[in-house]
Amino acid sequence: MIVGDVEYRVRLYRNYRPEVQGTIVLAARAPYLRRLAAIGTAVEEEAVIVDLGCGDGSLLQILAERGYENVSGVDASPSQVALARDAGLSVQEANVLDWLHEAPDAWAHVIVAFDVLEHFTKSESLQLLDDAHRVLRPGGTLVVHVPNASSIFSARVRYADCTHEQAFTRESLTQLFRAAGFAAGKCYEDTPVVHGFWSACRWILWKCARGLLRFYWAIETGDSGSEAIFSQNLLAVTRRNERAENV
C-alpha cells in the first residue's frame, strides 16, 4: 500500500514483501477475522462494506462466507490485489487516501481499516478519518485495528515495519475519532480466539498474564486496570452519528 509521495515510502513499498504485511494463510487468520467480522459488521447482508488496505482479501472472504453480498476492498500493492482477484473478490488497486477522498458521500455502511492507520502520519490519519466519516452513512460503522502503544511489547509492533509511522492507545484513538466527528467508540484487546485445544490453552495463559499486568498497573497507577488493554494490537469500533450533518 503506497501512501503519499515521500521518497522513502516509495522505495520501501516498492519492495514490500507479503510477510512484512503480515499476510499469511487464511486458515490461520480465519478465527480472528471471524471475530472481527462479528464485532464490527452487525449489519444487513446487503450492506455496503469496504475494506481499506485489504491485502490479499482474507477479510473479504470471511465476510462473503457470512453472507454479505456487497463487499469490496482497495489496496495499492499489485501482488496483493492480484491474489484477491484470483480468489474472485472485488478489489481495486489504488492509493487508499486518494481512493477514499474520491468516494461518494454517505455511501458505505461499514468501513474497515485493518492494520492501516499506523502507516500514516497524524495529519494523514485525520484526513482518512475525515473522509471515512463523510463516506459512511449516518449511523455507519468504522472498524480500526492498530498497534497498541499501551502494550509492554508496543515497540515490537511499532518498529517491526519501517513503514509504520505511529502506534495508538485507547485515548489517542478517541481523540482522532472525536476530531473527525465520530463517537468515542469502543476498544477491544486482541485476546486469543478459542477454536481448539491449543488456542484454549493460550487463552487461559493470556488471562493469567493479564492478571499479572493488571497487578503491576495497579501498583503504579492505583487503578485496577480492568479496562486497560495490554495486547500488542487493539481493535476499535466507532460510529458516525445518526444525524447527517454533511450529507
pLDDT for the residue 17: 54
* CA distance to 98, 136, 238, 241, 247, per residue, from 244 (Å): 23, 10, 16, 7, 5
Q: What is the pLDDT along the chain (247 residues), one digit of tens a residue?
A: 444 456 777 677 666 655 444 444 456 678 888 888 888 777 788 899 999 999 889 999 999 988 898 999 999 888 888 888 988 899 999 989 999 999 999 999 999 999 999 999 999 999 999 999 999 999 999 999 999 999 999 999 999 888 899 999 999 999 999 999 999 889 999 999 998 899 999 999 999 999 999 999 999 999 998 889 999 999 999 999 865 444 3
Helix, strand, coil fractions of the chain, as percent rounded to 5: 45, 20, 35
Give the total residue count for the chain.
247
Cell of 38: 462479528
Among 114, 116, 115, 128, which residue's Cα sits nearest to residue 49? 114
CA atoms within 13 A on the CB side of 64: 14
In the chain the first and final C-alpha atoms are separated, in Å, by 29
* CA distance to 176, 189, 217, 225, per residue, from 220 (Å): 27, 21, 5, 10
